[in-house]
Structure 1
């Protein structure tokens, strides 16, 4: 019988599979484009950038909040938040960035079964690519 993973390990597993999903979701023939600067690269060389910080569980795994970013934008330019917000509004409609900002401030606590369900769902989605 397999040992149950701790909550922190389940969250790490969800972060990993979710990141893989986001990067593959926006890739065409395995090439994805940075949401903020337009740089193109293989999806494995890019990152899952968050508009609202990962510390907010209500938006941590929100597919609209997460977009493909190059390391230059995501790490060295702190996510290019202003450009990220403008691009979110352009892609999903005016007010999207503000709605995500508001949603991020809603306290959310996922149960262990919720996290396991999300892991399973994203593993299935990644398997389709």
Structure 2
């Protein structure tokens, strides 16, 4: 970077690049887990239920797979972490059917709905802080 750009432009480029990359990663990871149940020490279901109940899949086309790096198949990714991303889509119907046979909830939603669920969960999580801030505000 510093070989082809003046130092100020190189630093600006790196700063913008890192900000955009961080935003992309946040958009990549948030839809899969935010708003899903958090298991505590007392909640210790078996491996399958732990992976399926704490994640959601994001429906979509090959473009969704490309944009989210295959992590839109989060349930299958957690069940089979070493499975190559292109095969996660093929495993999805098998896992979904198996979960249905066992009566395990398998959550799958669209991309926009997953962001809505994630943002709603973050809004609920921040509610106590907002209430405490309002209650302690000087009159």
TM-score norm. by structure 2 comes to: 0.34
Larger Rg: 2
| Higher fraction of strand | 1
Q: Larger helix proportion, structure 1 or 2?
A: 2
